[in-house]
Structure 1
């Protein structure tokens, strides 16, 4: 069997990340008890398809919330704003066909070929689940290495993305913006860190008669990096489904599986041209722009895997056709965001130094963003 190793991790990455940012995914942790296995190539394909809407939605969400007016702060004016973007997952990205994604080792064992992504239906997989299996020919016989049911989705068709931003006005109608959350540990789940920087520049000053215009015109750009790391543990006992036919050289060696974790890194960039009007209490604005995002998912560490037992074919006394083996960093995928061009509109309501704001970004993954904070000048 080419790449004859099978892994015990395919969707745990998405389950852990989604669990970190929204309570609605807590039920997905139950899927960990049914470890999903695939050849390394197939596992990466399945991770990519299962998490595709999360990668796009999360990238769209963190690309919002950079501004709540078209007008930059006056010199030394500043704001502190906490916002959350909520991206809407299109219906077409809530499911996929396992027979159309290029799987090499896995085949459809039973059930429908259409299965859910992480943002798809949360109907229990036991109800007519999509079951995938891997087979190997050993001593002329077709032996099943393993099978598993595809997990359901969360039933939550949205992707949240929280942010904290500080903006500071400088000279020449220019505002710089910073996003920063130092690395924090979420007990039992992992660590979270966010950094970002952006700028907004008013261009009325550069337009003939621009200072006489009744609206503010500006350009804005922002870059955000977010990193999530979560430890977990999958042992040899989690992958053995046929103990009577599986040789396990790692029995009792618990330290073999130390160091397992999932590392998820997201980079997002957005650029917009804005036009709006700022009044003493309310500001309104709109604009168009471009955005990109990339989410990478890696799983450093050593993981248990089920493979054909070479000794079974050469040693007549060996009665175990299957063998527990190891694999290093089984998952390494990148998810490109689904957005490119966008249009947006929003408002800010300012009450003394306190403000609330909201905006809506129209794109492939449309996003509602809302927040509050404090503004001076």
Structure 2
């Protein structure tokens, strides 16, 4: 069977370089059961179930780029390790299975046992006692075959195991170039799990430039001011071929996070206070490729689904950051808070020279 809850938990833990996390969920998202409802219903269900993961990871990736608006001198550099913690809002712990109009279902073949409408947990929701039912007839080459099953609605990962946050750590290098311009590179080495069949890697690039130097009226102000643009990409691949329903199945999950910001900071002795105002654009996509065989009432004639899942998640909006950095010789320690769709705490430590 294809256990998507374990796949995304593996991604969460692997990308965050966490080990041996205990996750308090009382069930699993066995996606072969959801696939029995057909590709269209599977896409609809998965889109709502996974959406908070896509948003939380994306907003975490867009954060933690800076801890001052002051750029390095030429060939100056900093090396920083940052943990970005994106808070999952309460409203995204559940989704309405039917929708605002309980008389119009979002699904063709998937129903709640007992009918009606209910809030079901997303991937970060809690437990549920609801059950789902798939019951329909499909005609294959002139013969009707029935798909009929009832299964427990899947619970989510208990986000409280992570303090209520989606953790996204970064290792980042900043390098001073010319004309008060910094190049920033962030990186997570590729993490692989043979047991869970996934690998994940991350890379990102950013440019920070001191614009105050070009505006005569601002040059004399006793503060630092910069503009910043940063892009981060997460790439993952999953091997699903060990499942009971596919011999060649694969899945990929990719996230792109782009942020534009105006930064300002003020240094007072060993403390630097900084702020940023800007905009995020986050997009991600999930694909399940390959051939999947879905059982019917006649085991000799399974339904065949080809490349059944293609899901895109997009989120964008304004952001505002306030933070403080302590610098002792070349050691830096910083923390900030960003107000955005998923409010984010960033904590980091690093080395900074010139």
TM-score range, shorter chain: 0.7 to 0.9
Q: Report what 2:121 is aligned to.
A: 116
Distance 1:81 1:133 in 2: 50
Contact 1:71 1:278 in 2 (8 A): no
User: Residue 89 in 1 paired to residue 108 in 2?
Assistant: no
Contact 2:3 2:28 in 1 (8 A): no
Which digits, 9 at most, give the CA deviation of each residue in 1:67-92, with x for residues without a partner?
11011112211011111111111111
Q: Which secondary structure state, in structure 2, belongs to the residue aligned with residue 110 of structure 1?
A: coil
Distance 1:19 1:261 in 2: 20
Q: Report what 2:288 is aligned to.
A: 299
Q: 1:207 to 1:137 in 2, by over 3 A?
A: closer
Which digits, 9 at most, give the CA deviation of each residue in 1:248-283, with x for residues without a partner?
xxxxxxxxx333332111100001101111344221
Distance 1:268 1:34 in 2: 27
CA positional deviation for 1:133: 2.4
Contact 1:88 1:366 in 2 (8 A): yes
- Relative to total residues, which structure has the larger helix share, 1 or 2? 1
Distance 1:145 1:231 in 2: 28
RMSD: 2.9
Distance 2:300 2:97 in 1: 26
Distance 2:22 2:31 in 1: 16
Q: Report what 2:102 is aligned to.
A: none
CA positional deviation for 1:116: 0.4
How many residues matched? 335
Contact 2:87 2:166 in 1 (8 A): yes
* Range 278-287 or range 130-139, more displaced: 130-139
Q: Which secondary structure state, in structure 2, belongs to the residue aligned with residue 57 of structure 1?
A: helix
Contact 1:349 1:355 in 2 (8 A): yes
Q: 1:43 to 1:15 in 2, by over 3 A?
A: farther
Which digits, 9 at most, give the CA deviation of each residue in 1:93-119, with x for residues without a partner?
110111127212212223862100011
Q: Report what 2:203 is aligned to.
A: 195
* Range 257-266 or range 222-231, more displaced: 257-266
Q: 1:34 to 1:48 in 2, by over 3 A?
A: closer
Task: Please list every run of 5 or more consecutive structure 1 residues that lacks an aligned counterpart in the other structure.
Answer: 1-6, 237-256, 309-319
